[in-house]
Amino acid sequence: MVLPRRLKAPAPTWQRDVDVVVLGSGAAGLSAALAVRPVRSVLVVTKGILEAGSTQWAQGGLAGVLDPADSTENHVRDTLVAGAGLCDEDVVRQLVDEAPTTIRYLMRLGAAFDPSHDDVPRPGLDIDIALTREGGHSHDRIVHSGGDRSGAEVQRTLDQSAVGAGVEVMNHTFALDLVVGRAPDGSPQVGGVRVARLDEDGAVQSVGTITARAVVIACGGYGQVFASTSNPPAVTGDGVALALRAGLPIRDAEFVQFHPTVLWRGPGARGQQALVSEAVRGEGAILYDAAGERIMQGIHPQEDLAPRDVVSAAISARMALAPAGVDDHVYLDATHMGERFAERFPSIFAACREIGLDPATERIPVAPAAHYSCGGITADLNGTTTLPGLFAVGEVSSTGVHGANRLASNSLTESIVAGTRVGRDLAWELPVPARIAPEKVSSGADVLFDPDRLREVSTAMSRHVGVVRDATGLASAMSTLGTLSRATNGGVEPSRDSWEATNLLTIASAVVSAALERTESRGCHRRSDHPGTEPAWLRHLEVVLDPSGAVDVRPAPASV
């Protein structure tokens, strides 16, 4: 299979120069921009508007040890257990240590987290804040806002702070490819990014080059590569695909986390599905199959609050048995909350009402859906990648925090820790300028994938590369993608749709290649033909595009 090494686009007609360009406007990108802004010029590039990404939709909240009865050791242990052997313990410790400061920092910026319930006394807790629990956590340590509108509050806070601090935002601007120049010693160094300004319908208005001393990728994950996902439509893996095209390795691509419970709205629902937060189970809700049998009892000591990969796998296994003839959803019973449900989970309540359901009195139909990309561009928690001048933060990166399965609500925390760290580092010191050669004329290999055929990609991914995989299904997905990759052609015109489609095809190929290679089950990569977790597989894989655009999977080096 051969994939484009460059996105086809009209020739650049304009140029800008800034110190730092940030691609993406969620929690990670805005945290970076905010931290660097006091001393550097910074431009945030986003293909839609500030709030179009995943941050806005996060329900659960931010994990961090605030309760004196909890400890960083507990949080570290829970993260390592969820990560199924592939976390980097040192990086996890850095995250967990900085998480409480990060939460207090957001509060100082104006984030309104929900105050404590009077019925849960927490001796020694010095702020009035509610703490809840989600899957895999041994203690209440998730802060939330507006009940289940935590991400929206984080996004609002960062939007306001960044814009107030004078961060410039370029809306409706698509990041196409990195501009890779030379460091003084002649080695490759990123010197900017080629972008396209779009109109509101995604048609190209102009193409330009933004030169910068540092490019920070914060474009989020790639949930839209699957037919059913909790991610909004904008989450098309643009940052990961751009990095692949620049020759960077993508680590842990096979570890796609499926959230156990999105609202099931009927057979064949596609695209973004309403999330039913794990915090609902944190408040005591129980999973049942259609025959009324409990699902999680006897599966894991934490039962309904087991780590997410365990719950998703158990639901999938139960659906495969088709209890009471139902093979595509199960039920979540939160009726014990009664009228309190609407107050604690207003967004989920509204989504349920839209399908005519009252969670105070009825069980909620739910099913797993793609939710989070645990892998990504190999980076450390300061965003440093293998290519000088290029940084990656948030879901787009693979820092070692999540391993084979992310612990719930660690991701917003990671985005703000890593974003703030990279912004602060770049405020202190910028890379030396890269020398950029005049743009070479394209080789002609820059063909695009037809967006009208994207459905074939997401259908194959959901059918064969979902919660449970096997060699036959993965080979079938690979063959579909191979056929579709030959359907990239010079006749497809550049537009937001065709660039996103090309990015998604690229990422699908990376995920399937890594999933085929990993012949074991670990974390959120489950193979029915290799059900055991194998000590020999206690290692990372990385995917690269070779110079011809072929996908290559290889063992990842131990660290960045």
Active site residues: 308
- Position of tokens 């972008």? 195
In angstroms, give the least distance from the CB of 50 to ligand SIN. Answer: 20
**Which of residues 409 and 458 has its CB atom nearest to ligand SIN in the complex?**
409
Q: How far apart are alpha carbons 80 and 93 in whole angstroms?
A: 10
Sequence letter at residue 319:
M
**Beta partners for 45?**
23, 170
Cα-Cα-Cα-Cα dihedral sign, residues 192, 196, 197, 200: negative
**Which of residues 173 and 277 has its CB atom nearest to ligand SIN in the complex?**
277
- Binding-site size for ligand SIN (CB under 6 A) equals 10
**Which of residues 412 and 514 has its CB atom nearest to ligand SIN in the complex?**
412
Strands 364-373 and 330-333, by their bridges, are antiparallel
Contact assessment for residue 87 and residue 80, using Cβ atoms and an 8 Å cutoff: yes
In angstroms, give the least distance from the CB of 279 to ligand SIN. Answer: 5
In angstroms, give the least distance from the CB of 346 to ligand SIN. Answer: 14
409 binds ligand SIN per the rule CB under 6 A: yes
Q: How far apart are alpha carbons 396 and 390 in whole angstroms?
A: 13
In angstroms, give the least distance from the CB of 358 to ligand SIN. Answer: 21
Contact assessment for residue 364 and residue 273, using Cβ atoms and an 8 Å cutoff: no
Q: Name which of 523, 548, 550, 547 is nearest 534 in CA terms.
A: 523
**Which of residues 56 and 277 has its CB atom nearest to ligand SIN in the complex?**
277
273 binds ligand SIN per the rule CB under 6 A: no
- The residues in 459-488 that bind ligand SIN, with binding defined as CB under 6 A, are none
Residue nearest to ligand SIN (CB): 60
Q: How far apart are alpha carbons 501 and 138 in whole angstroms?
A: 40
Stretch that binds ligand SIN, among 80-88, 241-249, 344-352, 408-416 (CB under 6 A): 408-416
Q: Which of 56, 145, 173, 277 binds ligand SIN (CB under 6 A)?
A: 277
Strands 173-182 and 376-378, by their bridges, are unpaired
Q: Which of 132, 312, 411, 480 binds ligand SIN (CB under 6 A)?
A: 411
**Which of residues 256 and 516 has its CB atom nearest to ligand SIN in the complex?**
256
**Which of residues 143 and 176 has its CB atom nearest to ligand SIN in the complex?**
143
Cα-Cα-Cα-Cα dihedral sign, residues 514, 517, 522, 524: positive
Stretch that binds ligand SIN, among 8-16, 22-30, 37-45, 275-283 (CB under 6 A): 275-283
Q: How far apart are alpha carbons 350 and 341 in whole angstroms?
A: 11
**Which of residues 54 and 480 has its CB atom nearest to ligand SIN in the complex?**
54
- The residues in 36-65 that bind ligand SIN, with binding defined as CB under 6 A, are 59-60
In angstroms, give the least distance from the CB of 169 to ligand SIN. Answer: 26
408 binds ligand SIN per the rule CB under 6 A: yes
Contact assessment for residue 308 and residue 282, using Cβ atoms and an 8 Å cutoff: no
- The residues in 147-206 that bind ligand SIN, with binding defined as CB under 6 A, are none
In angstroms, give the least distance from the CB of 481 to ligand SIN. Answer: 27
Q: How far apart are alpha carbons 150 and 146 in whole angstroms?
A: 6
Residues 361-400: x/- map of binding to ligand SIN (CB under 6 A)?
-----------x----------------------------
In angstroms, give the least distance from the CB of 475 to ligand SIN. Answer: 31
Residues 105-144: x/- map of binding to ligand SIN (CB under 6 A)?
-----------------------------x----------
Q: How far apart are alpha carbons 251 and 488 in whole angstroms?
A: 25
Torsion of CA 420, 424, 429, 431, to 10 degrees: 10
Burial class (CB in 10 A: 0-12, 13-18, 19+), 166: exposed
Q: How far apart are alpha carbons 246 and 549 in whole angstroms?
A: 10
Q: How far apart are alpha carbons 329 and 364 in whole angstroms?
A: 10
Q: Which residues bind ligand SIN (CB under 6 A)?
A: 59-60, 134, 277-279, 372, 408-409, 411
